Chains A and B, each alone.
Chain A
Amino acid sequence: ETGVTQTPRHLVMGMTNKKSLKCEQHLGHNAMYWYKQSAKKPLELMFVYSLEERVENNSVPSRFSPECPNSSHLFLHLHTLQPEDSALYLCASSQVLPGGSGNTIYFGEGSWLTVV
């Protein structure tokens, strides 16, 4: 299934590096998300873009910077990360219905990030 694709699948970066995670959805959805999943913790919402506008930012540190150039693409720019930022970063998309409620959410395979 290639509805939501993420690259790279694995990334190791130093604390002074700058890197980006890329996500592309082929489902025609109008909302995209970044979630973080650390070991033994629930999925944490980081950012939501609906119709290419950021609608939610859950107090994420500024060393994470999202970018949504169009409804099919989403980036997460990474800069001066800390070792505790090592986690699985999941991109997702959904179709937001009239009235603002969300429909089913579909995930990419995730990007495993290790900060050394």
Chain B
Amino acid sequence: RKEVEQDPGPFNVPEGATVAFNCTYSNSASQSFFWYRQDCRKEPKLLMSVYSSGNEDGRFTAQLNRASQYISLLIRDSKLSDSATYLCVVPSYGQNFVFGPGTRLSVLP
């Protein structure tokens, strides 16, 4: 099993839709998790941190299920500007951060 796996996508949704991505991880000892956003030909940027059962920031909600070892990201009322690749990140042993392959989202007008 890969350390971090994500929905392959791409997700093509209309403006205003609600969309959810899933991420599964293999390291049961992981305590913190992150969602990053990467625009085309740009660097990844932190979107949300997830330390406990979940986190909410405006239209974005991240949830953590430790028993099943998965993290989800929910985006409500999608905007055109939400189009990007969303990366699930899990700190690994030592000072390593393991990145998932990413899920690409296209919000259509």
Smallest Cβ-Cβ distance to B102: which chain A residue: A42
Q: With a CB–CB cut-off of 8 A, which chain B residues contact A33?
A: 97
Interface range for B:
20 to 34
Smallest Cβ-Cβ distance to B6: which chain A residue: A42
Q: Does B89 contact A (CB under 8 A)?
A: yes
* Contact assessment for B95 and A107 in the assembled complex, using a CB-CB cutoff below 8 Å: no
**Cα-based distance from A100 to B89 in the complex (angstroms):** 17
**Cα-based distance from A105 to B96 in the complex (angstroms):** 10
**B104 CB to nearest A CB, Å:** 10
Given contacts A107-B43, A107-B44, A109-B42, contact A96 B95 (CB under 8 A): yes
- Which DSSP category, helix, strand, loop or mixed, fits chain A's interface? strand
Residues of B within 8 A of A (CB): 31-32, 34, 41-46, 49, 87, 89, 91, 94-102
Q: List 12 A-B contacts (CB under 8 A).
A: A41-B101, A42-B100, A42-B101, A45-B98, A48-B94, A48-B95, A90-B43, A90-B44, A101-B31, A101-B32, A102-B97, A105-B97
